[in-house]
Structure 1
């Protein structure tokens, strides 16, 4: 019972954080604009390729992000402080200026219109940096920094929860992009912007929590050294 509770708890932390920064609903509005005029079958195929690549980007960042930072001598507490700060700042910017983030995404995506669609635009620019760019990678690494440092038994539910959240976000990306026109008709820009601000506030809170956890761990380490 505790095992499944731990998975659920980690999922509920990772899912809103990734949802806020990826924003598949807002992305669907832009996706519908930059793929307009393409056959429905091609738009759907492209949407699910973007979802697949997005899952890979998030999973790799979650699984090896913190380990890679540790390899370069960055402690877990330092990573939590830095990652929490980045996530909190991203949430703050999205909360007070969500249009800037969406405009930046649209610029990245529409820049490829001059190129032939025969190339693999599913990865660049539609996955990187449009859907899962540096912000998403930073959030994923910050989440990976919150992994337990002791028993292996605690690592399994942690990774099951956060990786499950990443797969759920990728699934949402595929659904929202594949049915982008319906998402536009259902929500529209105004409701999407409201949802973006609500999720941005949640992202800000998660970033602050990760930051506080890192500061607390660093202070405990300093106190232990003094004694």
Structure 2
């Protein structure tokens, strides 16, 4: 297998790992329902404009978390194995909360979005932070980045896949928020909660995968499978 094929495989693998995880935790469809409710007094043009801004800001938040988060933690002496274990736990816990009580998560997000929605500039706060891409989304992004390869061209391919996943999630935020009224008419609140639970289960699987990779990496030197770093 050539280096080009290997890099493409790494990029595709990281995209397939990151997209369902980020899409699940951001939950653009569920967010669109709340977005429509808290901005009911705004004109359609204003809501579309805000949706575009929230999508753009969400992309920036996710990219910073994906590209810099794990390196910042490593700077403070946190090993990659510990980062993967902790990140996997965070992802799994967040997914479990979404899976078992989506109504609680919806109420919390609506409260966050409504707290400062009357402010003149609300696209970044609170609509992007913490409503759309809050601490949970940032934690998931950092956990995903912790699964990066050790070195070489694979690292660049890995982060290319993560970037593509973040861009697609941000685009989905833009489109779903801008079309929130039509989404509500099409699937309703119950349908959105069903989709949320399906996405949460996928996120739980991703969290368990990251956690298991971290445990295996931590135990591998002890088991003699590879030399300690």
TM-score range, shorter chain: over 0.9
**Which residue does the alignment assign to 2:215?**
215
Q: CA deviation at 1:41?
A: 1.1
Instruction: Say which SS state the counterpart of residue 93 (structure 2) adopts.
Output: helix
**2: distance between equivalents of 1:69 and 1:173?**
28
Cα distance, 1:175 vs structure 2:
0.3
| Residue 132 (structure 1) aligns with | 133
Q: Per-residue deviation at 1:66?
A: 0.7
- 2: CA distance, partners of 1:222 / 1:79: 18
Give the drift of 1:6. 2.4
- Offset of residue 2 of structure 1: 3.4
Corresponding residue of 2:70? 66
Structure 2 residue 93 is matched with structure 1 residue 89: yes
Residues 1:3 and 2:3 aligned together: no
The secondary structure found in structure 2 opposite 1:46 is helix
* C-alpha separation in 1, matches of 2:105 and 2:40: 21
Shift of 1:153: 1.1
User: Which of 46, 50, 56 is matched with 2:54 structurally?
Assistant: 50
d(CA) in 1 for partners of 2:145 and 2:12? 16
Please report how far the alpha carbon of residue 10 of structure 1 lies from its aligned counterpart in structure 2 after TM superposition.
1.2
Matched residue, 1:191? 191
The 5 Å alignment of 1:157-172 reads 157-172=157-172
Hey, what's the Cα distance between the residues in 1 that align with 2:53 and 2:222? 47
Alpha-carbon offset, residue 3 of structure 1: 2.8
Q: Secondary structure at the match of 2:116?
A: helix
> Cα deviation per residue 1:149-173 (whole Å; 9 max; x = unaligned)?
13x2101210111110000000000
RMSD of equivalent CA atoms = 1.3
Contiguous gaps of at least 5 residues in structure 1: none
Q: What SS does structure 2 have at the residue aligned with 1:79? A: helix
C-alpha displacement at 1:112, in angstroms? 1.4
For residues 81-120 of structure 1, the aligned pairs below 5 Å read: 81-113=85-117, 115-116=118-119, 118=120, 120=121
Using the size of structure 2 for normalisation, the TM-score is: 0.94
Cα distance in 2 between the residues matched to 1:95 and 1:72: 33
Q: Distance in 2 between matches of 1:108 and 1:171?
A: 22
> Which consecutive residues of structure 2, in runs of 5 or more, have no partner in the other structure?
none
The two structures have a TM-score, normalised by structure 1, of 0.94
**Alignment-derived partner of residue 122 in structure 2:** 121
